Structure 1
Amino acid sequence: MPEYFIQEQRLGTNTQTIVRDKDGQALYLLIGHWGTKNDVLSLYCMDGSLAASVKQTSVLVGRRFDLYLDVQKVGTLKKLFNWPGDFYYIRQLHWTVYGNIYHHHYAIRHFHHPIMHLNKETYLKENYYKLTVHDAKDAPLCICIAAIMDYWLYNRKKEPEPYLAQPLFA
């Protein structure tokens, strides 16, 4: 099973991110930015060809992201619920993403078949996300999904509970 390593807290940022193999060889370059509707994050092979991309289609209620393999749309990822764990679904692919994004421990499955597993570990004296992908052809989409999870983790806007926003005594 191929393994991919991405430096911690680099996936969801607006900078260039290099995806490496276990030997430190650069395999992919992830570039783009997030934040507003229609923002795009693109994953390029090191030869310059487009492997996959993610387009943010909704910003306010129920953030959604369209996934593209090369230039063809293959699905839309959206969050379904987060109790007792985070749970996301890509209807067109029948992929579920579930686990604990706060602790960087989650998996992608197609029904009962594993697609990817992500954990955080130390590699080359730094913290990295380790993506274990069961089939190399799924790696570009898995890397894009990991970028979405990282974005959701580090860019959450906490809104006060409605009962806390109102003064108790007016």
Structure 2
Amino acid sequence: MIHLQIKQDYASTKNNLIVSDKKGRECYLIVGKWGRIGDGFSLFGIGGDLIIEVKQTTLSLFPKFNLMVAGKKIATIKKYRGLKGPYFKVRPLAWSIKGDFDTKHYWVKKGRKTIMEMEKTYVSFGDSYTVSIDQQTNVPICLCLAVIVDNLAVTREPTKIKQLKKQAIQLT
């Protein structure tokens, strides 16, 4: 398994994410914006080489994104409504993405095989995602999926903040 950290600085005015290995060495940079049709982001190697681009193609409650390498579409990710909450499909890879949107713990699977697990934590200096990926060849796609899934999560507010707000309302 390959273990990586994705960090986002709250103070940043741009949507930049730095990906580091477990020793803290920076490996990748994700730059762009997402959330509107035509938006997209790119994954770069730390040396500046473009690895993969992501473009949002539909804007709805269930948006769709194309993943492209060297201008060629390699996969599409789409959000769906499920009985136990939303899920995502990555075609033509036959990957599915499911998880707990309250705890921000997600996993990518192909059949019963786990391709990636992702967990998000909130700290004072920014968000941090821990991702574990089964093999190096899946790293670029999995990093892009992690960003898309987190951005489309049902609620983006941390559970502890929700609890504190609830307590504050009860005290008034």
Deviation at 1:60, TM superposition (A): 2.6
Deviation at 1:78, TM superposition (A): 0.9
Q: Count how many residue pairs are aligned between Structure 1 and Structure 2.
A: 153
Structure 1 27/68 Cα, relative in aligned 2: closer, same or farther at 3 Å?
A: same
Structure 2 CA distance, aligned partners of 1:84 and 1:9? 31
Structure 1 33/122 Cα, relative in aligned 2: closer, same or farther at 3 Å?
A: closer
**Corresponding residue for residue 143 of structure 1:** 143
Structure 1 CA distance, aligned partners of 2:76 and 2:117? 20
Q: Deviations over 1:88-125 (max 9, x none)?
A: 111211000011133111100111221101123589x9
SS in 2 for 1:145: helix
**Corresponding residue for residue 99 of structure 1:** 99
Q: Deviations over 1:3-44 (max 9, x none)?
A: 11012687xx94211100111100000001123211111000
TM-score between both structures, scaled by the size of structure 1: 0.79
Task: Report % sequence identity.
Answer: 30
**Corresponding residue for residue 40 of structure 1:** 40
Matched, 1:112 2:116: no
Structure 1 155/68 Cα, relative in aligned 2: closer, same or farther at 3 Å?
A: farther
Amino acid paired to 1:66: N
**Corresponding residue for residue 62 of structure 2:** 62
Structure 2 CA distance, aligned partners of 1:17 and 1:127? 10
Structure 2: runs of 5 or more not aligned: 157-172
Question: 1 or 2 for the larger relative contact order (CA 8 Å, sep ≥6)?
Answer: 1
Amino acid paired to 1:96: S
Q: Which moved more, 1:29-38 or 1:16-25?
A: 29-38
Structure 1 131/17 Cα, relative in aligned 2: closer, same or farther at 3 Å?
A: same
Structure 2 CA distance, aligned partners of 1:60 and 1:43? 24
Query: Which of structure 1's runs of 4+ aligned residues deviate more than 4 A?
Result: none
Structure 1 CA distance, aligned partners of 2:153 and 2:52? 21
Q: Which moved more, 1:23-32 or 1:98-107?
A: 98-107
Give the CA RMSD over aligned residues: 2.6
Structure 1: runs of 5 or more not aligned: 157-170
Structure 1 72/128 Cα, relative in aligned 2: closer, same or farther at 3 Å?
A: same
Amino acid paired to 1:148: I
